[in-house]
Amino acid sequence: MAPPSYRRCGKSGRSRGFMVSLRQVVCATVAMLAMSIVARAEDGFPFGTEMTLEALPQPGSKRIPNIEIGDNGEVVLELWCKGGKGQFSVAGNTVIFVPGQIQDRSCPPARAQADDDLVAALGSVETWKRQGDVLTLLGPKPLRFRVNGN
């Protein structure tokens, strides 16, 4: 005896079982591919995004460092006081950050030192990992950045 979904009904001989149209199959396939692409994009290096360092502001300031990563790895840095540019080069899970010119904006010594330390930490990263909206740059001092939500 055939399973209930394949039993024949009436004189026409048609099954009453689960029937899927070609259109439904195509739509489901496209939806799965789209979800797969989005999932990979969420786990890939966040080119074309702006991110904020997971850190507390320096005393006397509300500012927290952020980086804007361009589509080709170019970076605009806004630190606790200073600002500048740089470049990320990514191959697999390996990452290299090369700082460009950093602008000294007459910063108080403590903020200037924190900025210099952050640029040095960025320059010493070796690998990266991403989980959703969080990018972790791994090196002697791990740095966590969160994608800015708009």
pLDDT digits (tens, 9 = 90+) for 67-102: 999 999 999 999 999 999 999 999 999 999 999 999
d(CA 117, CA 128): 19
Q: What pairs with residue 82 in β-bridges?
A: none
pLDDT given for residue 19 in this prediction: 59
Q: How confident is the model at residue 61 (pLDDT cuts 50, 70, 90)?
A: confident
pLDDT given for residue 11 in this prediction: 53
pLDDT given for residue 43 in this prediction: 72
Q: Are 16 and 112 in contact (CB under 8 A)?
A: no
pLDDT given for residue 59 in this prediction: 85
Q: Provide the CATH number for the domain formed by 49-147 in this structure.
A: 2.40.128.270
Residue spans of the domains in the chain: they are: 49-147
